[in-house]
A and B are shown apart, each in its own frame.
Chain A
Amino acid sequence: MIRLPLVLLFSAFLFSAGVYGVLARKNAIMVLMAIELMLNAVNVNLVAFSAWLGDLDGQVFALFVIAVAAAEVGIGLAIVILLFRTRESINVDEVNLLKW
């Protein structure tokens, strides 16, 4: 059995990578993928603690997160497609009309 701290370290790495992707990437698709990374880091945490505690609640919750993430990606990609159709670009830096 893998030791819990290792798994937590892995998930922290995964989450940090996601945060970096969300904050630093200009491509909207990359940003979406980074969000997936963060969500999955959370899933890993949930499953790990579930196994450690011998309680199934965490795994059930992970399944919910996966479902919500799928829906979120669906909407996110739809937005990206519409963005591309109007702006011919998916660079998030250029999507800044809603400001002062």
Chain B
Amino acid sequence: MVAALFSEGPVSEAVQIAPNWFVTHAWIVVLLPVISAVLTFFFGKRTPGRGAVYGIVMVGAAFLFSLAVLWHFIKGGALYAPEGIEWFTIGTLKLEIGMLVDGLTAIMLVVVTSVSLCVHVYSLGYMDGDSRFTWFYVVLSLFTAAMLTVIISNNLIQLLVGWEIMGVCSYLLIGHWWEEKENSNAAIKAFITTRIGDVPFMFGIIALIAVTGFTTTNIREIGEIIGLGVVSPLFVSMAAILLFGGTVGKSAQFPLHVWLPDAMAGPTPVSALIHAATMVAAGVYLIGRMFEVFVHAEAWVLTTVSIIAAITALGAALLAVVQNDIKRVLAYSTLSQLAYMIAGLSMGPEGVTAGFFHLFTHAFFKALLFLGAGSLIHAVHSNNMSDMGGLRKKMPITFWTMLFGSLALAGIFPLAGFWSKDELLVVANHTAHTWLFVVFLLTAVITAFYTARMVLLTFFGEYKGHAHPHESPPSMTAPLIFLAICTAGAGLLGAPQLNAVFGQWVFFEEIHEAVFVPWIAVLSTVGAVLGLLAGYALYKDRKAEDPLKGPLGPVWTTLENRYYIDAFYMRAIVYPVRDTWSAGVYWFNQNVLDAVVNGAAGLAKGLGAAVMWFDRNVIDGIVNGSGRTAGKTGNALKYLQTGNVQWYAVGLFVGVLALTIVFIRIV
């Protein structure tokens, strides 16, 4: 056993490798972006360059730190799961803050920090001159910290905290240009839609805590208890499906996928970081982290996961074909690829490595594609591919790097996408998920097709826009080049010919040997090439109208309307809620709740008036009366004070006489 999600397995001598300083202090990776967010928030505007430097330096440091953590696992180190710090205790339930560092954590740390670093650098150019530049960097850093919290967390509550902070940051960044109503609507849509998934997720967490008898939220302890097999499988199944609800929301799977394409309203670097490479992958990560629960659930749970992922993979890939907005092409592609990963995980323990390997490679090439698309948008001032074309010569760096990313997405040897998709196909074949195998293959063909379409429409043919495009500044091209190198190299980590080292870092329970099956590799390559050729044939000559629009007819219209799912949600949920439920709630509020509140207020007012009368007339009467009486008495008696000393003396003698008489009488 080298590094496992839940290590219970046989122990080999690899365990002997002691965790290095970086592994035992992995929490610093989370702390660095927090520091940067705080520094940028308080000092950003006064810093030269409007505060971007904090984020770049801190996230850069976090990236190097993550590499050092990964080094431990490259050498074959074991997982490191120290006792957490106790946060607080509710009854028997102990909440802690802690970390769980295994191969999966290390890989995710590297992915998040590297993409985040690229985006931090890239935004220097892309967001230059933006009125909320500093704020953008604050939220970017905060988001990075939240994502890292999710990754490193050893318990479900801490994970949920990071999860929700990510949601808020996503909301803030999608709505970064909130002056346009469309953008703020997209932000609200994203927030609410993911929240719908978060509700079952939260119930799932509570169910899992209940499994431990409300004693701990620790992921490994929950895994151990479920691994004992004493919990009823139905209960575990319900918990698993509830957890999967969180994944459906965050990773934008059918039927909650609608928010992700709209989230493209945010600045492009945000789309690259949050809505392609990291946050949406958190849902996949969640399944992987909680895989013990899924494994011990009844079979229908993973089948449900497979079906949802398959629907999303195919459906979203088809939608990507008809998009004109380049970011939407990539958004639907992201949906489809996320579904790939989830489908991979749904195939069982063997699929975990393959699914996460696809997450790993996808993060790089999709971030690359998004940042490339941002570079194009920056140049032509439009998201629409109908305003692009012929940009190959004008923007050579963007062209070559994006071509790299596109071929990786299409799955062409030897780029990243080829290896990860191939591994998924091998696992599907090996575990006899034939129908998933077909879905994977079909999706791969469609993916290659829309990728070719995207590249041809933007870089080839005649320029159709009105701006004067030129290559982007180095701050934007440098991340592109870096990501292109990663895209080329990342796939090799999982190449069976090169030992498939990735599989030794990320696996469930035991290492699954990556196998190279020649006929599958050939089949997937042929599929990809066919897709690319079809795309080339249709789009090599640019026409005013899309060549597929005529032949496809109503199918095209359906796709353009996103299967009418958004419209259905609007009619079935949003409008009724807005017009009927809201009106009802408003009426109830105005007439019932307000009546209670107003009644209580009226009662209080009446009581107040009575008390006031009592105070004014009785209490004040006593107080004033005593004062007035004293005054009047004094006024009457003051005339005794005549000023004549002899009169006083008379009084004195009379008094003495009187007392004398009294005393004599008494005695």
CA–CA, A22 and B656, complex, Å:
15
Checking A19, A31, A98, A99 against B653 with a beta-carbon cut-off of 8 angstroms, the contacting residue is A19
Q: Is the CB of A23 within 8 A of B642?
A: no
Q: Which B-chain residue is minimally distant from A99 (CB atoms)?
A: B643
Q: Is the CB of B643 within 8 A of A98?
A: yes
CA–CA, A22 and B645, complex, Å:
10
CA–CA, A19 and B651, complex, Å:
12
* A100, CB-defined interface residue at 8 Å: yes
Q: Is the CB of B646 within 8 A of A22?
A: yes
Name A47-65 residues within 8 Å CB distance of B. none
CA–CA, A100 and B642, complex, Å:
7
- Interface size on A, as a range, is 10 to 19
- Most chain A C-beta atoms within 10 Å of own C-beta, residue among B644, B650, B653: B644
Q: Is the CB of A95 within 8 A of B641?
A: no
* B639, CB-defined interface residue at 8 Å: yes
Q: Is the CB of A23 within 8 A of B650?
A: yes
CA–CA, A23 and B645, complex, Å:
9
* B638, CB-defined interface residue at 8 Å: yes
Q: Is the CB of B638 within 8 A of A23?
A: no
Contacting residues, chain A, for B649 (C-beta < 8 A):
22-23
Q: Is the CB of B642 within 8 A of A96?
A: yes
* A33, CB-defined interface residue at 8 Å: no
Checking B639, B645, B653 against A95 with a beta-carbon cut-off of 8 angstroms, the contacting residue is B645
B9 to chain A, nearest CB (A): 108
Name A86-100 residues within 8 Å CB distance of B. 92-93, 95-100
Q: Which B-chain residue is minimally distant from A25 (CB atoms)?
A: B646
Q: Is the CB of A96 within 8 A of B653?
A: no
CA–CA, A97 and B650, complex, Å:
19
What per-residue 1/0 map shows which CB atoms of B621-658 lie under 8 Å from chain A? 00000000000000000110111111001100100000
* Given A19-B653, A23-B653, A99 contacting B646 (CB threshold 8 A): no
CA–CA, A19 and B644, complex, Å:
16
A-B contact pairs, 12 of them (CB 8 A): A23-B653, A24-B646, A31-B646, A92-B644, A92-B646, A93-B644, A93-B646, A95-B643, A97-B643, A99-B644, A100-B639, A100-B642
The 10 closest A-B pairs by CB, nearest first: A96-B643, A99-B643, A100-B638, A100-B641, A99-B641, A96-B644, A98-B643, A99-B642, A23-B646, A22-B649
- B residues near A, CB below 8 A? 638-639, 641-646, 649-650, 653
- 19 additional A-B pairs beyond A31-B646, A95-B645, A96-B644, beta carbons within 8 Å, are A19-B653, A23-B646, A23-B649, A23-B650, A92-B645, A92-B646, A93-B644, A93-B646, A95-B643, A96-B643, A97-B643, A98-B643, A99-B641, A99-B643, A99-B644, A100-B638, A100-B639, A100-B641, A100-B642
